């Protein structure tokens, strides 16, 4: 297996997430002006640093101010092409070990928080647990017929992680999402069939009814997902 630098491992998720976002085309003149403006360049680089820091928080357990100082000093020295204050090669095995141990700790903490959330949500009044484990709580009933498992539907939705992080929203795009229920995650396939046109519901998807152990954009592996779903209409 080829060796990959630590910096590349930190930056890769940021680049992958950026590719998931569709940016409107900007006039070339505006782009060149932004590149030539020192203030805009500083804001861009600050934003990159902020994203790197946010990504580090997701991968490492940093316990105190000294941890942050040592980490930031090492990054600063490297970026300024200064001589390392330590024998970096000597500490590579410990770095790898820390990544592995911290990944386990972060995963265990997140799984415990998700399980607590799922258990508490299931106990809420009006929650219906479906045969695949997905849960739905109607806030507006709607009228008409329910869609079938192979129906094509049009919905508005907002998707968040259990910590409130929003990862997608048709409402933000200003356009309802249309799909065949056989082509979406199993959580949706089952939950949307419980809704009538005009209905609105909170749909909670355990990881195995969503994306499982696959990371998708801002969604980490094995994530429980929460959707605020409104069934606009049944196409067929």
Catalytic residues: 157, 167-168, 185, 211, 227
Burial pattern 122-131, b for ≥16 Cβ within 10 A else e, equals eeeeeeeebe
Helix (H) or strand (E) holding 226: strand 225-234
Three-state SS at 15: helix
Q: How far is CA 27 from the centre of its chain?
A: 30
Structure tokens at 14: 């940021």
Candidates 118, 149, 124, 126; CA nearest to 225 is 118
């Amino acid at each position: 297996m080829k060796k990959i630098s630590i910096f590349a491992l930190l930056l890769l998720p940021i680049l992958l997430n950026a590719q998931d976002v569709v940016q409107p085309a900007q006039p070339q003149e505006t782009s060149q002006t932004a590149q030539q403006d020192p203030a805009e360049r500083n804001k861009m680089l600050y934003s990159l640093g902020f994203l790197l820091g946010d990504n580090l928080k997701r991968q490492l357990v940093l316990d105190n101010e000294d941890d942050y100082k040592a980490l930031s000093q090492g990054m600063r020295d490297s970026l300024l092409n200064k001589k390392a204050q330590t024998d970096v090669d000597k500490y590579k095995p410990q770095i790898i070990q820390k990544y592995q141990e911290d990944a386990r700790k972060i995963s265990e903490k997140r799984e415990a928080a998700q399980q607590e959330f799922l258990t508490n949500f299931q106990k809420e009044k009006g929650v219906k647990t479906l045969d695949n484990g997905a849960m739905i709580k109607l806030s507006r009933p709607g009228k008409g017929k329910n869609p079938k498992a192979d129906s094509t539907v049009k919905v508005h939705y907002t998707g968040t992680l259990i910590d409130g992080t929003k990862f997608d929203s048709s409402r933000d795009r200003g356009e309802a999402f249309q799909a065949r229920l056989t082509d979406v995650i199993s959580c949706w396939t089952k939950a949307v069939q419980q809704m009538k046109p005009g209905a609105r519901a909170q749909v909670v998807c355990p990881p195995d009814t969503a994306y499982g152990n696959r990371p998708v954009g801002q969604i980490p592996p094995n994530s429980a997902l929460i959707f605020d779903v409104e069934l606009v209409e049944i196409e067929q």
